[in-house]
Chain A
Amino acid sequence: MKDQSLSRDQGQNFYRVLEVQSQGNKLVKVRSFIEKLAADCGFNRADVFDLKVAVGEACANAIEHGSPGGKNNSIQVVCAFENNCLEVEVIDEGVFKPRFPAFDSQLNYRGRGIPFMLALMDEVEIKESEEGTTVRLVKCRLY
């Protein structure tokens, strides 16, 4: 597991990367990483929680659907803070498959990950390539 502080300029900008094995028990490590980073960026408690949920859902997708080699695969969480916006990219090694297509009132057991990201973040983008899938999440601090 790698947690690198790659750079921090003299202003308030960050660029940090966390790499974890593709395993469910690593989600707590990702949340802890995001919690500290978001707090350092000045986000309030509610926004920090939203970031933990959205990034956690993206990582859960990566574990369930983006890891053809199971725990031999890794997930990268790349964070950049600039102009009061935190951009988080969750990069896996598989094909993206949404866990939950939409909010609804039916008793669906699964599939609320994507709607959570859309509802809690300012921007959500999913990029697929032969190497894997990148989920890009952006949350801006408006205070």
Chain B
Amino acid sequence: MNPGSVGCSVFMSPESETVPILNIVGEIDLSNAPHIYSLMWQTSRKASQPLILNLEKLDFMDSSGLQVLLRLREKLRSKKQDVFLVGPRPQIRKLLKLTGFDKLFPLYETNAQAKLLSKADQAFLGT
């Protein structure tokens, strides 16, 4: 990472054998959004559906970060894989609401809740 550049990391939870959990830690802005998108896609492309994006440790995100979420959602949905968001902080949640993203992405408080309800959704949809 270059000195002074924004920090963000992406990693898959080791517990994610049944439902994959991708953790986003740090900040996303114009400077690192393409790189973060690439990391997220590379990390999640082999996962089975659905994918949980854990945002509990996402400190900052602007419209570039929203663009990353949207692109990932489109890409995964093209192979019939859903994306769920877990635990965004109040300020991030506010941005998601302002943009209507809370209607595009099912939003849960905890990984356990997302796992449970995503399975229920799948059962309901017969997938």
- A66 touches B (CB below 8 Å): no
B66 pairs with A112, CB closer than 8 A? yes
Cα distance A116–B91 in the bound complex, in angstroms: 12
Distance from A29 Cβ to chain B, minimum over Cβ atoms (Å): 6
- A56 touches B (CB below 8 Å): yes
- B67 touches A (CB below 8 Å): yes
B29 pairs with A109, CB closer than 8 A? no
Cα distance A46–B70 in the bound complex, in angstroms: 24
Distance from B27 Cβ to chain A, minimum over Cβ atoms (Å): 7
Q: Which residue of B lies closest to A99 (CB)?
A: B63
Interface residues of B toward A: which range? 20 to 34
Distance from A13 Cβ to chain B, minimum over Cβ atoms (Å): 27
Cα distance A53–B4 in the bound complex, in angstroms: 18
The 0/1 profile, CB within 8 Å of A marked 1, for residues 1-19 of chain B is 0101110000000000000
Q: Which of A26, A60, A119 contacts B98 (CB 8 A)?
A: A119
Q: Which residue of A lies closest to B97 (CB)?
A: A119
Cα distance A96–B67 in the bound complex, in angstroms: 21
A60 pairs with B64, CB closer than 8 A? yes
- B30 touches A (CB below 8 Å): yes
A100 pairs with B63, CB closer than 8 A? yes
CB-contacts of A63-122 with B (<8 A)? 63-64, 99-100, 103-105, 107, 109-113, 115-116, 119-120
B98 contacts across to A, CB distance below 8 A: 103, 115-116, 119-120
B4 pairs with A27, CB closer than 8 A? no
Distance from B74 Cβ to chain A, minimum over Cβ atoms (Å): 6
B29 contacts across to A, CB distance below 8 A: 24, 27-28, 31, 56, 60
Q: A46-B91, A104-B100 are in contact. Are A27 and B31 (CB under 8 A)?
A: yes
B62 pairs with A53, CB closer than 8 A? yes
Give 28 pairs: A residue, B residue, CB < 8 Å, sorted on A.
A23-B31, A24-B29, A24-B30, A27-B29, A28-B5, A28-B29, A31-B60, A45-B91, A46-B91, A49-B91, A50-B91, A56-B29, A57-B63, A100-B63, A103-B98, A103-B100, A104-B100, A105-B100, A105-B103, A109-B71, A110-B63, A110-B67, A111-B63, A112-B63, A113-B62, A113-B63, A115-B98, A119-B98
Q: Told that A50-B91, A119-B98 touch, could you supply 6 new A-B pairs with CB distance under 8 A?
A: A24-B32, A27-B30, A46-B91, A53-B60, A60-B62, A112-B99
Contacts from B to A (Cβ < 8 Å): 2, 4-6, 27, 29-32, 60, 62-64, 66-67, 70-71, 74, 90-91, 94-95, 98-100, 103-104
